[in-house]
Amino acid sequence: MIGLIASLIDGVLVGAVYGLAAMGLTLIWGVMNVINLTHGAMIVLGMFALYFSASALGLPPYGAVPVTIVIGFAVGVMVYWIAVHRVIGRPHLMSLLSTFAMNMVLIGLGTAVFSTSPYNVPVALPGIAWRGYTFTGTHVVAAALALLIAGLLYLLLHRTRIGKAIRAVAANREAAELNGIPTTQVLSFAFGLGVALAAVSGALIATLFPFNVLSGGAYELKSFVVTVLGAMGNPAGALMGGVALGLIEGAATPFMPVSWTPVIEFVLFVAVLISFPRGLFAFTRS
């Protein structure tokens, strides 16, 4: 029983980071109806941004997190203008293909420059011991930062002019345009914000586990599962979906081989799509 509780707590800690990663994906979907297939590559961008900020610039790992947000935002705005701007409002297949192609370019460039060898950001923090189990300090800090950033996102969306503009464009772009909101710039900002969230989640993941250029794929898949769990287009739902996914992983692993976890996750993915097409936490959509 103690082991199960420890596993659930670990699951929640990692789930908060999954939720942060998915918030970026779901924000972009909610605002502009685009499924961003560069999401995995942007998570990897955050991992490498943290790695090089810590190693090349000598920044402490957590001190480099704001740098990662800035880099992610800048790259996101650039990707918007290159791959997304012209396909907004077009059939979904066009945005899927456009972002998929961009993803291939980014992964290809990353592989050419960094190869597929593993990288590691060593972070030593004391853990919290409990009844023979230890919750590592890095997990606790990553979860705390994920919640903090989610809170800041909420404040941005609900307490600032740009946030109000983003929500207006998400609700009805034409009406927002008629009210004088420069919707194209808002979309660009929102995409940059979504990518920044993906990048910062990558940075936090890099403090937990080793990574390589191809690591984004697994977290991108988890982001899709979380987005479906949490209600598509709903950042708050995404955070709760991430925690829910972490809880499911934590509940399952004590009772079955760890390698079965992805099977459980994707069975759940299909089940929720069929039973709750709007997401488990659709009631939280603002």
Partner 1 sequence: MTIPRLMLIAAAALATCSHTCAADDTLTIGFTVSRTGKLNTESTAQMRGFELWRDEVNVRGGIAAGDKRYKVSFVSYDDESAHPRVQQLYTRIINQDKAQFLFSPYSSGLVATAAIVSEQHGRIMLTTGAAEEKTYKLGNKNLFQVYSSADLYLAGAIQVVKELYSKAEPALVYKDDPLSKAVLQSARKQVAEAGLRTALDEAYSPETTDFGPIINKVISAKADVLLGGGHYSDGATLARQLHDHGARLKWVTLLVAPDSPNFATLGDAAVGISVPSQWEPQVSFKPDFGPTAAEFTQRFQAEYAIEPGYHAAAGYAAGLLLQHAIEEAGTLDQIKVADVLNKMDVTTMFGRTKFSTNPREHGLQIGHEMVLAQWQKKDGKLVKEVIWPKAAKTADILY
Burial of residue 96 (CB within 10 Å: 0-12, 13-18, 19+) is middle
Per-position b or e across 218-252, b if 16+ CB within 10 A of its CB? ebbbbbbbbbbbbbbbbbbbbbbbbbbbbbbbbeb
Question: For partner 1, which is the closer residue by CB, 151 or 210?
Answer: 210
Q: Least separation, in Å, of the C-beta of 137 and partner 1?
A: 8
Which of 162, 254 has the CB closer to partner 1?
254
Indicate the residue among 2 and 175 with the shorter CB distance to partner 1.
2
Smallest distance from partner 1 to CB 116, Å: 5
Shortest spacing between CB 256 and partner 1, in angstroms = 10
Compare residues 190 and 204 and give the one whose CB is closer to partner 1: 204
Write out the E strands in 65-196: 128-130, 133-135
E strands in 167-253: none
User: Smallest gap, in angstroms, from Cβ of residue 92 to partner 1?
Assistant: 30
**Binding residues vs partner 1 (CB under 8 A):** 2-3, 6-7, 10, 14, 111, 115-118, 120, 127, 129, 132-134, 136, 138-139, 208-211, 215, 218, 249-250, 253-254, 257-259, 261
CA distance 236 to 20: 10
